[in-house]
Amino acid sequence: MKQTNLTAAMFGHLAALRAKMAICGAYEKREEPTLKSVAEAIDKIAGTFEQYKQANDARLEAIKAGKSTSDYDAKLAAMDERIAQLDEMKSQLEKMETKLARPGAQAGGKEEGESREAAEYRGAFVSWLRAPTDAGRQQRCAQARAALEARQAAEAASGLEIRATQTTTTTGAAGGYAVPEVIERSILRLSVDISPIRQIATVRTVGSTDYKELVDIGGAGFEWVGETDARAQTNTPDLVEVQPTFGMASAKPQASEESLDDMFFNVEDWLISSASEAIAQGEGAAFVLGNGVKKPTGILAGPAPVATGDATRAFGTLQFFASGAAAAMPASADIFLDIVYSLRARYRSNANWLTNKVVLAALRKYKDSTGQYLWQPAMTAGQPSSFLGYSIVEAEDMPTVAANAFPLAFGDFREGYLITDKVGMRMTRDEITTPGFVKFYVRKRTGGKLRNTQAIKLLKIAA
């Protein structure tokens, strides 16, 4: 009888736990996508695009016949939205698969290469997150941090090569701790998944906001000589200094005190997810439009773009191609071909289109001279859709179509744009301003600037 009651109680607790985990998204709940689910998303995108092409062809015929296209326009708009949703679903499934495949992806998993001291500090840090005012947890966190710094100092003294890591500049009692390196890397890694510019730009970790980089823009001399001929002195390469502008990127994820007290609440995953999403969204806008004042200088925020080519244009200034209409996209695809082939071959091999979803919808309607659509859906897992054979990266912060706007960029952004992350991420907690909740103020210094303006071209909405 007692055994029966015990079993019933166990099942009751298990049912309650499952219900609780289903309600709160921050609790451990993993739905592992399969390759089949990604393949199904790809098939649905392809099928919807076939319907899209048929509707657009009918719209074009109606235009030729002088008939109304309002019904077709509405149908195409709905299918644009459907394709965008399916494409987002595909991307999310692929990201989940990648995350689950990584070592240490499961909660509490020890990452490969993480030292014992680093793992102990991470554990103490996560424990402190649950009870920031607990003196014992503060002490354990400080002791674990001191042990980690002692190991790093010993490795440096012995001549071992170690990565640059953050150092503690305030005490736990004062409310500040350095974010453990593994958690910091996870936040940055997830930010890459969210931030489209981080996916395609050059990203460097630096030790100072005074970081400068020399960019070779060509000019090195060359000559052919015989085996015994005298060697004339050739020109030296032209080097230009690029210095990113920095700002403090910060996030303030908030959790209830009740959830932090709950042993089933995965506070580490919650902090990584919340902080990375907030930081990535803020960074995304700055990497496109940031004015360089206490923030990165965005791709479109440099000197006013001009129409002149690489040979005569000043370094640091982007080249644009006019759409041919004062407030509309180009009437034909010819201008896009001009943009593509204005880029040097070494940049075209790694080039992408960068635009927002509104312009992306317009690109789906373009055809070549044989009637073939130039936009194509991704047909394999891990690949984005393409236009003229080049991948499209969607960035919601890119301008929309308007007079004198630059809604579309094309180029090798790894060569063209530089993102710099100053080593070290810090966090301060606040359990006072909002009773019943604890806020975690996570911050890091990030910079950005155009690196090589010969590697990126723009479409300008202008006649």
3-state secondary structure of 462: coil
The number of angstroms, rounded, from the C-alpha of 73 to the middle of its chain's C-alpha atoms is 32
**pLDDT band at 94, cuts 50/70/90?**
low
Please state which CATH number belongs to domain 197-218+237-374+385-461.
3.30.2400.10
Q: pLDDT at position 158, please?
A: 63
CA within 13 Å, CB half, 7? 4
CA-based nearest residue to 121, from 155, 165, 174 = 165
**pLDDT exceeds 50 at position 104:** no
- Stated pTM of the model: 0.71
**pLDDT band at 106, cuts 50/70/90?**
very low
Residues 6+ apart with CB under 8 A from 389: none
pLDDT, tens digit, 9 for 90 and up, residues 297-321: 999 999 999 999 998 999 899 999 9
**pLDDT exceeds 70 at position 111:** no
Query: Beta 202-206 vs 417-422: how paired, if at all?
Result: parallel
Q: Look at 210 and 363; give whichever has higher pLDDT.
A: 363
- Inter-residue contact 330 to 341 (CB < 8 Å): no
Q: How far is CA 305 from CA 49, 62, 124, 406, 408, in A?
A: 35, 38, 51, 9, 13
- Quote the CA–CA distance of 435 and 445 in Å, as a whole number: 29
**Over the chain, what is the mean pLDDT?**
79
Tokens of 314: 């000043």
**pLDDT band at 223, cuts 50/70/90?**
low
Q: What is the CA radius of gyration of the chain?
A: 27
**pLDDT band at 447, cuts 50/70/90?**
very high
% of the chain surpassing 90 pLDDT: 38
Domain ranges of the chain: 197-218+237-374+385-461
Residues 6+ apart with CB under 8 A from 19: none
Q: How far is CA 354 from CA 165, 222, 249, 371, in A?
A: 33, 35, 23, 24
CA-based nearest residue to 253, from 233, 232, 236, 269 = 269
